[in-house]
Amino acid sequence: MKPRPLILITPCAERKGVEFLDTSLSLSDRYPRAIVAAGGVPWVLPCLSSENLVAEAVRRCEGVMLTGGDDVQPKLYVNHLPPKLKRTVSPADPARDWSELLLIREVFRQRKPLLAICRGQQILNVALGGTLIVDIAAQVPGALNHSRLDRKDKIVHKVALTPGSILNKISGKQTLGVNSSHHQAVGRLGGLLCVTAVSPDGVVEGLELAEAAAGVLPWVVAVQFHPERLFETHDVFFELFRGFTRACEPKRKRPV
């Protein structure tokens, strides 16, 4: 039996954890459960800003998954934020931001498959020079309610898929029903990326590598929704994780 691919997963930092109220790691078990179900072995990476540690972790794994969580620090993508918008942003987690920026750099340097979910899509876009919509309700006229935490495990709206994209090929459809638990979104697109899923109000729901960047990484999908909360009830989201883990199966030793 061939070994399961080792998938590196990013967690949140919790200021007061269960044990001794220490700063702790926090991660919904839906993420590792999805990886296990799809044939991978999950490995949670601490939020540490050590370049050597991050580089070694990426070297040892077969793929990387960026997960959801609190907002990315605005100073990473905008010089000034009006007070009205600043009040909508959750408290910063600089350690996580920095470790994920290092991680993304190493993913591209070492050419590993990448799956980015919700905040993961946002930090990926920022890492590649893009910006974010700080608060959809305040900045997108006529926007849908994207912050449907009351239905986090349910389909709440559809997204249009770009023909030929990985999401389009997996689903076999031009539209896909998704859940929605976010108040921020991709703004100006980062380099190397192209939009592959859009909600009816124009909010970016999916990113992949642009055609001109094909081959930079072996496999990249970023989504604004939460497939880890739907994979047990909707086959298309299980197939997304299965496609990711298959892309992570060792085929040859990659140059570092």
Going from N- to C-terminal start, the domains of the chain cover: 6-248
- More confidently predicted of 17 and 77: 77
- Lowest average pLDDT, out of 12-16, 56-60, 72-76, 204-208, goes to 12-16
Q: Which residue intervals of the chain are DSSP H helices?
A: 30-37, 51-60, 83-86, 94-110, 119-127, 136-139, 166-171, 235-248
Asked if the model's pLDDT at residue 16 lies above 70, the reply is: yes
Q: How far apart are CA 142 and CA 108, in angstroms?
A: 36
Q: How confident is the model at residue 24 (pLDDT cuts 50, 70, 90)?
A: confident
Asked if the model's pLDDT at residue 222 lies above 70, the reply is: yes
pLDDT at 227: 98
* HSE of 23, CA atoms in CB hemisphere, 13 A: 9
- The predicted model gives 36-46 an average pLDDT of 97
C-beta of residue 198 within 8 angstroms of C-beta of residue 204: yes
CATH of domain 6-248: 3.40.50.880
- More confidently predicted of 15 and 99: 99
Q: How far apart are CA 89 and CA 92, in angstroms?
A: 8
- The predicted model gives 95-107 an average pLDDT of 96
Asked if the model's pLDDT at residue 18 lies above 90, the reply is: no
pLDDT at 138: 96
Write the pLDDT tens digit of every residue in 229-255.
999 999 999 999 999 999 999 874 444
* HSE of 84, CA atoms in CB hemisphere, 13 A: 5
- Lowest average pLDDT, out of 105-119, 144-158, 183-197, 241-255, goes to 241-255
- Lowest average pLDDT, out of 150-159, 200-209, 210-219, goes to 210-219
- The predicted model gives 112-124 an average pLDDT of 98
- Lowest average pLDDT, out of 21-25, 96-100, 166-170, 250-254, goes to 250-254
pLDDT at 255: 41
Mean pLDDT, the chain, whole residue set: 94
Of the chain, the percentage scoring pLDDT greater than 90 comes to 87
